[in-house]
Structure 1
Amino acid sequence: MAEQTLYFDDYQIGDVRVTTGRTITETDFVVHAGHTGDFFPHHMDAEFAKSLPGGQRIAHGTMVFSIGVGLTASLINPVAFSYGYDRLRFVRPVHIGDTIRTRVTISSKEDDPKRPDSGRVVERCEVLNQHDEVVLAADHILIVKLETEKI
């Protein structure tokens, strides 16, 4: 993991970064179900899933979100912290054997009304499958310090 100090003004709307990929496995399904207690047949019952439109088990949306966000965690910025996620959508199903990666685009910046020494940066996170289709989308809100000499 690398560390890079990026202040509020260092973020530019439209900047994009894309993570490496990760293939979803049956173990991911089982571990996530065990962690969350979500054993719905859509995720865990291969015979039941044959009756679904895709004919196979569908990954937990929360698992795709967790893995997709985890893929973005390659950079530590000591002057920023996560404020949360908005507008989370499960756009397309993910199945065992699909490979996902996350595209992060700086979509907006604004003053932080609660913190005069910081601003809010919104990263549009789009989890993509191996066909470059968006399977999940969410807005990640960061609180980012202003450069000290500019305060």
Structure 2
Amino acid sequence: MSQDCVYIEEMEVGQFAEIGRTITDADIVMYAGVSGDTNPAHLNQQYAEATMFKGRIAHGMLTAGQISAVIGTRLPGPGSIYMSQSLKFKAPVRPGDTVITRATVTAIDLAKKRVTLATVCKVGETIVLEGEALVLAPSKG
């Protein structure tokens, strides 16, 4: 196992990791291509200006993907297996926004090698997404 992971035996409730990413037009276009979600709210400025958001927004699942990045690269990191994720979309993310994503350990089940993480994405002080993840964490044993 990579030494970049945090083994479940080393985790503590309250421990967290975070990453930041600025969402670009290219990210949105590439996500639309990969996912097949070509909703004009994401891709067509003229259409999007007539919506409740008054402009283009990023796909919610593009933002949620940052949670996977935190889990797979930081906490627990390489070797983690995503088991479940709840999501509540709270506010839009727009092209050019920098999203800070944090995963915080809320519970540890050593017997099952599972960790529960509170997951939050913010743009500035605004929570744009929140939820909870259950992850099978790497173990020393």
Task: Give your verdict on TM over 0.5.
Answer: yes
How has the CA–CA distance of structure 1 residues 132 and 63 changed in structure 2, closer, same or farther, with 3 Å as cutoff?
same
1:71·1:101 contact (CA, 8 Å) conserved in 2?
no
* Structure 2, gaps ≥5 residues long: none
Secondary structure of 2:32's aligned partner: helix
Amino acid at match of 1:22: R
Which residue number in structure 1 is paired with residue 30 of structure 2? 31
On the 8 A contact 2:83/2:134 being kept in 1, the answer is: yes
Q: Taking every aligned residue pair, what percent have the same amino acid on both sides?
A: 27
- Rg comparison, structure with higher value: 1
Instruction: Indicate the residue corresponding to 1:128 in structure 2.
Output: 122
Contact 2:71–2:80 (CA under 8 A) maintained in structure 1:
no
Q: Any stretches of 5+ residues in structure 1 without a counterpart?
A: 113-117
* CA 97–145 in structure 1, closer or farther in 2 if over 3 Å, else same: closer
Structure 1's consecutive aligned runs of 4 or more residues displaced over 4 angstroms after TM superposition are none
Mapped contact 1:81–1:143 kept (Cα < 8 A)? yes
Question: Is 2:11 the counterpart of 1:11?
Answer: yes
TM normalised by structure 2 equals: 0.82
Pair 1:141-2:134 in alignment? yes
Return the TM-score normalized by structure 1.
0.77
Calculate the aligned-residue CA RMSD, in Å. 2.4
Report if the CA contact (8 A) 1:82-1:140 is conserved.
no
Q: CA separation in 1, counterparts of 2:138 and 2:66?
A: 27
Aligned residues: 139
